Amino acid sequence: MHVKGFTHLHPTIDEAIRGTYAGLGTPEVTDYLKKLGITAVELLPVHQFTDESYWGYNSIGFFSPQNTYSSSGMAGQQVTEFKQMVKNLHKAGIEVILDVVYNHTAEGNQLGPLLSFKGIDNRIYYHQVGDSPEYYMDYTGTGNTFNLSHPRVLQLVMDSLRYWVTDMHVDGFRFDLASALIRTDEEFGSVSSFLDTVAQDPILAQVKLIAEPWDIQSYHVGGFPVRWSEWNGKYRDTLRAFWKGDDGKAAETATRLLGSPDLYASDGRSPANSINLITAHDGFTLNDLVSYNDKHNEANGEDNRDGSNDNMSWNCGAEGPTDDPAINELRERQKRNFLATMLLSQGTPMIVMGDECGRTQHGNNNGYNQDSKISWMDWHWDEKRQALFEFTSQLTALRQAVPLLSRRRFFGSEQVAYLRPDGEEMTADDLNNPNTHCLALFIDGLRVSEQTEDGQDIGDEQLIWILNAYWEDIPFMLPKIGRKSSSWEVVVDTYTGQVNPTTPLRQAENPLQYRPAHRYSCDSSN
C-alpha cells in the first residue's frame, strides 16, 4: 500500500490526517485490514525521496521518514508520528514491512543533480563505466546503481537497516531490484558482501527479508539465500497466462499452486518463501488486468511510451468500461479466479491495495507520477465492489481456518495428486499437453502428519481444487476417497462467488458439472 494513497480519500478519517502516517494508524484502517484478514502491510518507500515520484522510488535520505507523510510537522515530528503508526498497527496484530530502495538514488546519471553522494565520494558510491567517473552503470533504469560492493557504502546501508529495526520497530524489508544490490561492476555477484553481512547480522536475524529478485538486466527468481523470501514473478506470469486461456500452462500452474518447490525446496526453504502475487504497484491493478489488453498511460505525459507493453492481460471482449453484462460478469469471475488461486495456493499471498474491491487505474500501468485519483484508493463502493471485498475476506478466513492451505513444508508426492476430468490421475503427458486447460489438485490431509506453530494438528481435511480455464463447461467426476457415508461439498465457487469457510469438507462419487472460467466469445488466442 501507499501511505498517502490509501487514506487520502477516506470519508470518515479526520481530514487533517488523511494521507499521513497518523491516518494509517487509525482504527478505521486497522479494523478494515483485520476484516480483510491482513497480517502485514508492505509500505511503498518511506525513506525521504525527491518529489518527482509519487511512488517514492527516488530515495535520498536512508534514515529519514518522508516528511510529506507527516500530519504533525516536518522538523522531526515525522519520526514520532511514524513510530506511533507502527505501534498502532502492531497493537492490531499487523506487521510493518518497508519497501526499501538501496539500489539507486535520486542523483540519476551524469545529467542528474548533485545532492549528496556524488559530492561526498562519487567513485565509491556508484558503479561507474570503466575509468569515467561521470558515467554510471545503469542496472536499475534510473541512471545509476549504488555500489554495495564497497565497504563504506555497505556500512551505510547496514546502519540504515538496523536503525529502522531498532529505533522505528519495523518487522522487515522488501528490497527493490535486489539483484542490483549484489552486483560487482561487471555482473550479478554469486558471492556478495551484502548478502554475507546481512546473514551474520544479529539484528536483521529477527526480521523478514524479501527480495525483488531481478533488475533491468537480470532475473534471479529462486536464487537468493535460505533466509530470504522472494516476489515470485514466475507465479504471477504463470497464473496470468493460465487464467486467460493460454496453451501449455497446466504443468507449471500445478507447480506454482504448491508453493513453487522447483524454486525453493532444494535449499531448505519453505513454501512461505514464495511471495505469490498476481499484481504489484507497477503494472495493471487486478480490475484492469481483466479489463484492458493495452496500457493507457496518456496521463503520465510521455505519449504512452512509458510502462510495460507485456502485461499478459485480457479485456474479456471490450477495452475498458462497458455496459455489456456478459463481459462484466466474466470480468468479475476472472477477478475471483485470480484471488481464489492466489489466496489458497501454498506460499505467502500478497494483495495490492484496492484489488480486494476492484480498484481501477483506468488502464494506467505505470502510475509512478500520478498523485491523483488514478492512484488513490476510492472508498465509494457500489454493490459489485462490496461483493468482491466480502469474497476476498471470506477467502482469507478460509485460509486461516484450514492449515492445509498454508503448510510450513512442501507436500510430498504421496500427499497430493493431479486429476483429469474423468477422475483419473493425470500423467506427465496430460499435464504437458498444450491443450490441457482444466486440472484438479487433490490434497489428502489424511496423509499429512504435522502440527501448526501453536501445536495443533494440521487437520485431516481432503481438498480438491478444480481449475477450469477452458471456455466451455467440462463435466468432472469426483473420486471416492477415505471415509464412508459422506459427500463432497462445495466450499469455494468462483462462478457464483460462494465461499463457505465453516462447511465441513466431505467426499463422494457424484459427477460435478464444473463451469468455465470464460463464458464469452473468445478469439483463437484464448
DSSP letters for 44-68: SP-EEE-TT-SS---EEEEEEE-GG
> Strand 208-211 and strand 172-175: pairing?
parallel
DSSP assignment of 414-469:
TTEEEE-TTSSBPPHHHHH-TT--EEEEEEEGGG---B-TTS-B----EEEEEEE-
Q: Which three cell numbers stand for residue 355?
A: 484489488
Q: How far apart are CA 212 and CA 220, in angstroms?
A: 9
Is residue 500 domain-resident?
Answer: yes
Is residue 372 domain-resident?
Answer: no
Of the candidates 253, 260, 238, 261, the one whose C-alpha atom is nearest the C-alpha of residue 426 is 253
| CATH number assigned to the domain comprising residue 491 | 2.60.40.1180
Helix axes 325-344, 233-243, angle to 10 degrees: 140
Is residue 485 domain-resident?
Answer: yes
3-state SS record for 269-310: CCHHHEEECCCCCCCCCHHHHCCCCCCCCHHHCCCCCCCCCC
**51 is known as an active-site residue:** no
Of the candidates 212, 226, 220, 3, the one whose C-alpha atom is nearest the C-alpha of residue 102 is 212
Catalytic residue among 99, 212, 355, 356: 212
**Angle CA 43–44–47, to nearest 5:** 100
491 in Cβ contact with 501 (< 8 Å): yes
Give the residue carrying C-alpha cell 493425470.
426
Q: How far apart are CA 433 and CA 160, in angstroms?
A: 50
> Strand 95-100 and strand 40-43: pairing?
parallel
Catalytic residue among 176, 215, 230, 461: 176
Tell me the C-alpha to C-alpha distance, in Å, between residue 231 and each of 44, 86, 260, 264. 14, 23, 12, 12
Amino acid at 311: N
Tell me the C-alpha to C-alpha distance, in Å, between residue 460 and each of 183, 404, 504. 46, 8, 11
Helix axes 233-243, 250-257, angle to 10 degrees: 130
Is residue 329 domain-resident?
Answer: no
Task: Estimate to the nearest angstrom the gap between the alpha carbon of 109 and the chain centroid.
Answer: 30
Is residue 462 domain-resident?
Answer: yes
Is residue 240 domain-resident?
Answer: no
**187 is known as an active-site residue:** no
Q: Around 220, how many Cα atoms within 13 Å sit in the side-chain half-sphere?
A: 24
Give the residue carrying C-alpha cell 505469490.
276
Q: How far apart are CA 100 and CA 59, in angstroms?
A: 9
Write out the chain's pLDDT in tens, 526 residues.
999 999 999 999 999 999 999 999 999 999 999 999 999 999 999 999 998 789 999 999 999 999 999 999 999 999 999 999 999 999 999 999 999 999 999 999 999 999 999 999 999 999 999 888 889 999 999 999 999 999 999 999 999 999 999 999 999 999 999 999 998 755 555 568 999 999 999 999 999 999 999 999 889 999 999 999 999 999 999 999 999 999 999 999 999 999 999 999 999 899 999 999 999 999 999 999 999 999 999 999 999 999 999 999 999 999 999 999 999 999 999 999 999 999 999 999 999 999 999 999 999 999 999 999 999 999 999 999 999 999 999 999 999 988 899 988 999 988 999 999 999 999 999 999 999 999 999 998 877 766 555 556 666 788 999 999 999 999 999 887 666 556 788 999 999 998 986 544 443 344 444 455 543 333 322 2
502 in Cβ contact with 401 (< 8 Å): yes
Provide CB contacts within 8 A for 394, sequence distance 6+. 499, 501
Is residue 437 domain-resident?
Answer: yes
Q: For the chain, what is the domain count?
A: 1
Full domain range(s) for residue 461? 409-514
Q: How far apart are CA 426 and CA 436, in angstroms?
A: 11
What pLDDT shows up at residue 521?
Answer: 31
Q: How far apart are CA 159 and CA 169, in angstroms?
A: 14
Is residue 253 domain-resident?
Answer: no
Query: 188 by DSSP, 3-state: which?
Result: strand
Q: Which three cell numbers stand for residue 401?
A: 481456518
